[in-house]
Amino acid sequence: MQHNSTFQIYNASAGSGKTFTLVKEYLKILLISDDIFVFQKILAVTFTNKAAAEMKQRVLKSLQDFSEGKQTPVFLILQEETALEASEIEKKSKKILYLILQNYAAFHITTIDSFTHKIIKSFAFDLGLSQNFEVEMNATDLLDKAVEVLISRIGVDEKLTQILIEYALDKSDDDKSWDISRDLGEFSKILLNEEDTAHFRKLSDKSLEDFKSLQKKLILIQKELITKMRSTGEEALQIINSRQLISKDFYRSMLPNHFISLINKPEATKFFEQSNLKKRVEEGALYLESKSQDIKSSIEEILPELLKLYANSEVLYQQLIQTKLVLKNIIPLAVLNNINQELHQIK
């Protein structure tokens, strides 16, 4: 005779409500069981302490809400799925909540490693272990070993060697020690952060060639942005010159000087820290009232075009800074990704 499976599988992506479903199923078992202590016989296992704590919190909060007669969305769903009366859910939730709080150690919503540890602890004698054994995970030692393995490949792996040399040179340019071993050990500790690890999983299939390819694209984008900034400056000066205006016709020559800087030193041009120019641009007050009416009229006619070009230069500057920041970190990120790959192999 074939029996139907008692397993239920919920296949869902991140943020689609898995925790809500698990909490609802947990509460359903509590409410439909005739055994008021059934929570002691349920094992809920998850991956992280954060997820386990969240599940516990949601179960307890729901039971508290039910016991106070609050008909929350999960209450209405449970009422429909269990066919229990609202008064019965309220009464039972109050009892279960009290018992859980009085027997909290038996409220088994835990992580996989904690559950495994309890099993090993229970069978310590059979496994030939001390009853007082301790589990130690020295993550720093693992990271150090991963860094050592990576450094040992210098001179063997040509592409990796090139990346590490580039990384060392970048450090030297920042007046830091070219010795990268200690630095790698320090900044690789980010790999131990649970939230950061999730992002590195997305890079797990990326090779050094992928990072170098991205670096080349960003360098091209950076050059294009600088070219556009120069073109913006040149276009603005052409507009000013077409009206036979000179820099001194503008308030303290601020706006023309800004466009001249875009042409000569686009990367060194100051933007948002120039509060006076920024304020003048926003107010449209870019000439002195003492100027002749012809000069003021000429400036007023071209001012909309100049302000538009100024706004464009701000956008280009923001894009340039963003690109430079990514470029600055692309090599460290490539190295870090390789350390992460070595770390997984060691594990």
Whole-number Cα distances in Å, 272 to 234, 279, 304: 21, 10, 20
Summarised one tens digit per residue, pLDDT across range 78-93 is 999 999 999 999 999 9
Summarised one tens digit per residue, pLDDT across range 284-320 is 777 777 788 888 888 888 888 998 998 899 899 999 9
Cα–Cα dist 264/266, whole Å: 6
Cβ atoms 295, 287 nearer than 8 A = yes
Q: Mean per-residue pLDDT for 189-202?
A: 73
> Going by C-beta distance under 8 Å and a sequence separation of 6 or more, which residues neighbour residue 226?
266, 267, 320
Cα–Cα dist 334/167, whole Å: 10
Percentage of the chain surpassing pLDDT 90?
28
3-class secondary-structure state, position 314: helix
Summarised one tens digit per residue, pLDDT across range 48-65 is 888 889 999 999 999 999
Burial of 182 (0-12, 13-18, 19+ CB in 10 A): exposed
Percentage of the chain surpassing pLDDT 70?
90
The answer on pLDDT for 1 being more than 50 is no
> Going by C-beta distance under 8 Å and a sequence separation of 6 or more, which residues neighbour residue 146?
188, 339, 340, 342, 343, 346
> Going by C-beta distance under 8 Å and a sequence separation of 6 or more, which residues neighbour residue 79?
86, 89
Paired with 46 in beta bridges are 111
Summarised one tens digit per residue, pLDDT across range 144-168 is 888 888 888 888 888 888 888 887 7
